Structure 1
Amino acid sequence: MTSQSNDPTATPPILRGKHRQAPSIFTPDALLREARRQKRIEDGAVPDICVLDPDGDIVRSLRRNKLARRLAAWPCYHTELFVFEQEGLTYGVVGGAVGAAFAVLVAEELFASGCRLLLSITSAGQILPVQDPPYFIVIDRALRDEGTSYHYVAPADYSFADASLIALASTALAECGIAVHVGSTWTTDAPFRETAGAIDAARAGGIMAVEMEAAALYAFATACRKQVLCLAHVTNQMGRVERDFEKGVDDGAAESLRLIARIVERWRATAVP
């Protein structure tokens, strides 16, 4: 094995040799195929609309209230997918996919299994004190302080959401009286390395909150032409005040489901069949 220099001026491995336009040798379809074979699972699709729930609060609430069932046809090695009904529509939801790499792994598998729209609602730490937590942000761009995005799109400071999805979500939520902010977040791979200097730099850049998935999900969506919308549920000030991390009624699950319903209602009215 050739040794590598520790020269701090050298291009780091995360930016070398990515060949982003080349197809991947390892695909989600291959993984799902072999998982079905090993687990003896029949082929089956997931709902058109799926939700990533990194904290698992939505999944726990639905299951506690007996409103969700596990989808036996979901062959992922790492997660369970639950199905629930809301306002006459069927949704899929995956809990516990925390962090950029895990979120994109699951997103790849969901779209390979029939998903058409993926919503991610993740808890986030406050950077700009626009109001007291908890509240929601529709993320229009995310600072790429993680690794996964660099495998999908060329290096840049931010990953961007689909502008039409941002406009759709903003309009839908405003029309039904849900107060949310639209703005940028900082996606980090290292939540316990959020130093004072890093927080100050993010605040100076107008970043509203810090989370762990959006930059990678938006890079994946851009590269693979998929519809992904990320929301941040700002629940905390990173433990710097007492009684932090409060999410509201039912750990914020009911309000999250309300947001999802309104966004999906507008999306279905405008989506191409």
Structure 2
Amino acid sequence: MLLEEFEPVKAVIEPGMARKEEKADICSTLILTFSGQVVEQVRQMDGVHEGGALKNLNGRHPWYIYEKDGCKVAVGLALVGAPMAVGQLEEYKALGFENFIIFGTCGVLDKNIAADKLILPSAALRDEGTSYHYAPPSDEISYEPALLSTMEKILDKYQIQHIRTKTWTTDAFYRETAAKVKRRKASGAEVVEMEAASIMAWSRFREAKVYQFFYTADYVDHHQEEWDPRREERKLNPMTFFEIAFTIAKELQVS
């Protein structure tokens, strides 16, 4: 099968070949969020300036430099979907960023998990394609234990409640059938999203320091075969989770 052709060798096109902007402002930590609202709010803050941008056929994707309490980070928008998210990470790492803090929403497969809960993905079911080009074939992949432990210790230090669980990474969010949801739950997954398995595989392959978390949003109910957006239950401003990401960045700076 094509997805069994993992080859840990140099590729014809390497990320370092991407065009680089002159005078780009690079710092050690990059916070990537899938929330355009968060990026826009950060962009409008006093003292924030554009640090540079990635470019592709979809357009120009800038990052912004945010500094507070002596901690300087870059903040950018992560593109939805495993191929684009990992493609961005490849280019950001080639530019010189070292720590990657990534966050966004996830759906839940277990109704007992309320909205706006912070999730640490300990492993991911690989129901996508990108991860198979960065890691040998398997049904799931685990988060790098040392990185997961670092992030969990930071959350515990600041008494930030979180749930550590397995996630289901899928390319096809319009094909989350009731039977698939039931099988993924049986395999231990409690949440679903579109990038984590690929990001975990990329992190291991490139030996990159990635700190990823989710916050819960909609509910995929396989019992009733219904989708519940749970919009009324989602009370927290996404900036709450940006502040958590920034707290992680500050701790990484002093560690």
SS of 2:168's equivalent?
A: strand
Residue 121 of structure 2 is aligned to residue 132 of structure 1: no
Unaligned runs of 5+ in 1: 1-10
Q: Match of 2:10, as an amino acid?
A: P
Q: SS state of the match for residue 83, structure 1?
A: strand
Q: Find the counterpart in structure 1 of residue 169 from structure 2.
A: 187
**1:62 equivalent in structure 2:** 42
Q: TM-score, normalised by structure 1?
A: 0.83
Kept in 1: contact 2:119–2:213 (CA 8 A): yes
| Separation in 1, partners of 2:250, 2:46 | 24
Q: Answer whether contact 2:120 2:162 (CA < 8 A) is retained.
A: yes
Would the alpha carbon gap of residues 245 and 55 (structure 1) be closer, same or farther in structure 2, given more than 3 Å must change?
A: farther
Matching residue of 2:9? 22
Match of residue 228 from structure 2? 241
1:158 aligns with 2:147: no
Distance, in Å, in 1 between the alignment partners of 2:120 and 2:147 is: 10
Secondary structure class of the residue paired with 1:98: coil
Q: Could you say which structure has the larger radius of gyration?
A: 1
- CA RMSD, Structure 1 to Structure 2 (Å): 2.1
Tell me: CA distance 1:245–1:216, structure 2 relative to 1, closer, same or farther (3 Å).
farther
Equivalent in the alignment of 1:227: 209
89 and 28 in structure 1: CA distance in 2 versus 1, 3 angstrom threshold: same
CA distance in 2, matches of 1:107, 1:264: 17
> How far does residue 45 in structure 1 lie from its aligned partner after superposition?
5.0
Residues 117 and 162 in structure 2, CA contact (< 8 A), matched pair in contact too: yes
3-state SS, counterpart of residue 244 of structure 2 = helix
* Distance change >3 Å, CA 140–CA 57, structure 1 → 2: farther
1:142-157 equivalences under 5 Å are 142-157=124-139
In structure 1, which of residues 65, 76, 79 is the aligned counterpart of residue 55 of structure 2? 76
Matched, 1:110 2:92: yes
Q: Measure the CA separation in 2 of the matches of 1:45 and 1:161.
A: 29
Cα deviations by residue, 1:128-176 (Å, 9 ceiling, x for unpaired): 2343101110111111111000011100122222211211211211221
Q: Distance in 2 between matches of 1:207 and 1:245?
A: 24
Q: Which residue of 1 aligns with 2:189?
A: 207
Q: SS of the counterpart of 1:47?
A: coil
1:122 matched to 2:104: yes
Amino acid paired to 1:95: L
The letter of the residue matching 1:15 is E
| CA offset digits 1:94-118 (Å, max 9, x no partner) | 2141110011001011111111111
| Contact kept? 1:137, 1:234, Cα under 8 Å | yes
Alpha carbons of structure 1 residues 128 and 48: separation in structure 2 relative to 1, 3 Å: same
1:74-101 per-residue CA deviation (whole Å, 9 max, x = no partner) reads: 3433522122123321111221411100
| Count of aligned pairs | 247
Q: What TM-score, normalized by structure 2, do the two folds share?
A: 0.88
